[in-house]
Structure 1
Amino acid sequence: MKKTLLACAAAFGLVAGLSGPDLLAQEGPIQPGSSTVARPRKKADSPTQPVETRPVEVQAPVEQPKIPSRLNKKKEDTVPADVTFKAESEVVTVDVSVLDNQGNPIPNIPKGNFRILEDNVPQTLTQFSMTEAPMTVALIVEFSNRYQSYWSYGWYETLQAAYGFTQTLRPDDYMAVIAYDLRTEILADFTNDRNKIGEALQRLRIPGFSESNMFDAMTDTADRMSKIEGRRAIVIITSGIDTFSKLTYDKTRKLLQESGVPVYSVGILQLVRTMAESRGASMIDFLQGDNMLRTFAKETGGQAFFPRFMGEMPGAFAQINNALRNQYSMGYSPTNQARDGKFRKIAVQLVNPATNEPLRVTDQKGKPIKYTIVAKAGYKAPLPIQ
């Protein structure tokens, strides 16, 4: 019995000898063949420098915060009556293109020549730059067979022009390819891989349905892109005619304006109008489609193009690329800081600050240049903080 007690005491002494520094000294996995029990150091084995021992700190369990509710809310959890919260002032950003009568951007216009009005009230610019920033573009293509029988050859020419536009992407640009007929399909989500974008366009071969849900395709895409920061745009190749969307035209206009994403439209009906009319298509439908595309572009700060011949297709995409690459980016803190959720109109002007008259732009020969200012029509004010 005594031997058993002595053996247990000896074993206990070996285990008790494993204190702070010796346990910390054992790092990493135990090597094969090594002892699993560390030998306590004797005084003779200790180094000349005293070893500093640190007590082991045991952290007390952290009390998790309770979910506030009316039942467990304490008096100290309530906000004192004398504490007020001040909302940060909103900054409205506006991307502006200044184009000559050929659609070419006019660069190097000084900040002092720009004037922005919100609801006819002049605003003070706090941000101003002209940089070729990376861009995120959604290419939406109508892929219904509604007009395919009229221009099957022209369809492939259009895709070829669109493919040329995708090749202007830079390494830090992103693009998505989206097709629609009676439903919307993402053929390639946002990527900077040109091969994936080209493969997506190659899938647009034989359309299956004659219906078109243009409104739904545009608003769904704009909603996704509204959460993306930086320069962005929607480029849509379409007839401008919608036959299957859940949304109405007015609702689509409102949602596109609120998204803040400019829309660049390339209408295709000019190319097939003559043949389509000869087969009973309505001229009213064509005119309505053109007007809708113009409205979407104007109100969002984009442009609308209606090529009459296939040879004009590449030029339309080239102008879109130039407009997106050469924009003036500016911002201001609106004088009206009310959070009422109302739509506020924006007007951008070029003026001579000395005379307050419209700015006169001339070419190298001194001839006046007619220019066009492209910017979004307004924005929706934020709602009150809940």
Structure 2
Amino acid sequence: MCPRYFRSSLLSLCWLVLAQSAAQPAQTGQSNENQSTLTVRANTRLVVVDVVATDNKGEPVTGLKPGDFIVQEDGTEQEVQVFSFHQPGSEPPAATGPFAAPGRLPRGVYTNVPQYRTGGALNVLLVDALNSNFVDQAAARDAMLKFLEKLPAGEPVAIYLLGNKLTLIQDFTSDPEMLKKAIAGLKQPKSRAMTNAADSMVTAQLPMGSAAAETVGSMPGLLRGLAEFRDQQSAAQADVRVSITLDALNALARSLAGYPGRKNLIWVSETIPITIAVGRTRANSNRDYSAAVERTENLLSNAQVAIYTVDSRAIAGSTQFNVAGDPNPISAPQSEKQTLRGEAGAVASIESDDRVSTRSTMNDLAEKTGGRAFYNTNNLEGAVRKSIEDGSTYYTLGYYPANKNWDGKFRRITVKTERPGVKLHYRQGYFAIEPQSYAKLDASQKSSDLAQALSLSFPVSTALRFQAAISPPSAETKNKVLVNYAVDPRQISFELQSDGLQHASIDCAVIIYSQKGEALQTLSNTMNGSLKPEEYQRVMERSFPCRQTFDLGPGEYLLRLGVRDTRTGLIGTLDAPLTIPTQAAGTESK
């Protein structure tokens, strides 16, 4: 039996059967052998560019019209077909239909559709404890508290903490008291991937004690061995931090994608563990991360996320002249290190390279996503404030590229205006990735993406909107838990194939967790839809269905439910509590 709510307002599996739709469930990874491989695709995509316009004093410029902008892609002018203006206090656009923000839902029905709506930009404060030491974390927290004391009215802010995993500390709100309470309650976790997370990233080259320093100084081979070990340790830790950081940014992009409009990501960090050079992106281990970083940048751009990087180190001298920053304070005095195999010079070189690398990467990430980079300032509060002010008033331009060759290469976007005295900044471009290219990715990568999205270590994803109705075991469900999914069809990639049918494929998955967060069971299946024109029209007016049933004994559980478009890789997840009383399990029909 299907829940009444789904019969009345959303398309359920029951409706699909009654309509004699060709949607057939299949195991993940399997395909229909009779399905034709000839397809007709709408080979286009809308490119969205958020543009911040300011005058010579840095104040936002309002009143610009579509004709005031000239948009070019790789030097070729594009026709602007989407235009809108946004500023703080703007009324959010009217939302209608089953996948609008629903408010209160019927019992047993859950959704990942974002509840918070605004007509302006959203702001996300990312406190980076993974790549920052204790001292800089404390400085960043104090700066945020000062900023929140004077938070402009109507500015929605969410707070995330990047530690050994990404954690949502406070969801979107414009209430300064709630935000201050969240920041004040932040614990300062020690980064497991930094050599000296207490204060400095510089590692001691010598054992503790001046006698040991003298001994090592007389044995060049041992000194070189210690230096090589230090470098290998640093490289391994950098790889760990790169992996966690990119996973966190990917998860943020998926979590924010369902919110309409621009999202300003204010990333407060001591360092970014990636070096972006011409044609190559690497970590300190020299491992090439170009493909991974490009994918992350693409996810962020598609989610309309602009990165504002804030260097939490402020203005500071070398750590070797700061006793609090010496990772080995009772070893040889600084004066001795000045002459011992040139350690002072080596430390200065390491710190200089790290700062140059970090600032180069900060600039690159900000420019490519349409944000700004802030460093060399002791006014961290001001940097956070300027980040939010800069991205709060903007224009959204959209165009369909004239070049339909999706070759994966980077395409540079240029936006100009003939209005005198107006300065524009926006994201530099995008990677021309075919929208349906996700299906061609390595199976292990796709499996990893879904597993990450279904993990409680990451926030829920809103990139693919859906609702789920959960029915506990009963005689009507044959003593099984029944989950009916309803996916927003407007976000699904349909293909018109040579059989005249519209084809789509959606993965549905669930991980069942205990109240302690222990994964107990994982289930997944794929719904392949082959729809006639009239069926396709009805689906587009309602939803695309998927269904799961499974056995579950009495107890309290948390379900992380997920859906994924197998062609585009768009993912949506939600959390749903489920309580099965003792009498419900094994209930027989009377």
RMSD: 3.8
| Partner residue of 1:154 out of 111, 119, 139 | 139
1:274 is aligned to: 317
Q: Deviations over 1:61-118 (max 9, x none)?
A: 9585565599997xxx989x9xx85627532221101234553323334433321111
CA distance in 1, matches of 2:368, 2:120: 23
1:259 aligns with 2:300: yes
CA distance in 1, matches of 2:158, 2:247: 16
1:380 is aligned to: 431
Bigger strand share: 2
8 Å contact from structure 1 (residues 145, 207) kept in 2: no
8 Å contact from structure 1 (residues 241, 285) kept in 2: no
Report the secondary structure of 1:262's partner residue.
Answer: strand
1:130 aligns with 2:85: yes
2:585 is aligned to: none
Q: CA deviation at 1:146?
A: 5.0
CA distance in 1, matches of 2:70, 2:22: 52
CA distance in 1, matches of 2:314, 2:45: 43
CA distance in 2, matches of 1:252, 1:258: 10
CA distance in 2, matches of 1:284, 1:375: 28
User: What residue identity is the alignment partner of 2:359?
Assistant: D
1:181 aligns with 2:163: yes
Q: Deviations over 1:250-300 (max 9, x none)?
A: 3335412442121011112233x3153524571211121111111100001
Distance change in 2, residues 1:71/1:119 (3 Å)? closer
Residues matched between the structures, number: 297
Distance change in 2, residues 1:124/1:206 (3 Å)? closer
User: What residue identity is the alignment partner of 2:397?
Assistant: M
Which segment drifts farther, 92-101 or 262-271? Answer: 92-101
| Partner residue of 1:332 out of 381, 393, 399 | 399
CA distance in 1, matches of 2:250, 2:32: 43
1:305 is aligned to: 374
1:208 is aligned to: 190
User: What residue identity is the alignment partner of 2:262?
Assistant: R
User: Could you list the runs of 5+ residues in structure 2 that have no partner in the other structure?
Assistant: 1-16, 88-118, 195-240, 275-282, 327-346, 437-494, 496-566, 568-590
1:237 aligns with 2:268: yes
Q: What are the equivalent positions in structure 2 for 1:11-30 lying under 5 Å apart? A: none
1:367 is aligned to: none
CA distance in 1, matches of 2:189, 2:32: 60
Q: Identity percentage over the alignment?
A: 22
2:506 is aligned to: none
Q: CA deviation at 1:164?
A: 4.4
1:360 is aligned to: 420
User: What residue identity is the alignment partner of 2:307?
Assistant: V
Distance change in 2, residues 1:203/1:115 (3 Å)? same
1:296 is aligned to: 365
CA distance in 2, matches of 1:238, 1:146: 6
1:108 is aligned to: 63
User: What residue identity is the alignment partner of 2:435?
Assistant: L
8 Å contact from structure 2 (residues 253, 299) kept in 1: no
Please identify the structure whose Cα radius of gyration is greater: 1
User: What residue identity is the alignment partner of 1:203?
Assistant: G
Q: CA deviation at 1:124?
A: 1.4
1:94 aligns with 2:94: no
Q: TM-score, normalised by structure 2?
A: 0.44
1:163 aligns with 2:148: yes
User: What residue identity is the alignment partner of 2:317?
Assistant: T
Q: TM-score, normalised by structure 1?
A: 0.64
Q: Deviations over 1:346-368 (max 9, x none)?
A: 111223xxxxxxx532xxxxxxx
8 Å contact from structure 1 (residues 219, 252) kept in 2: no
Distance change in 2, residues 1:239/1:99 (3 Å)? farther
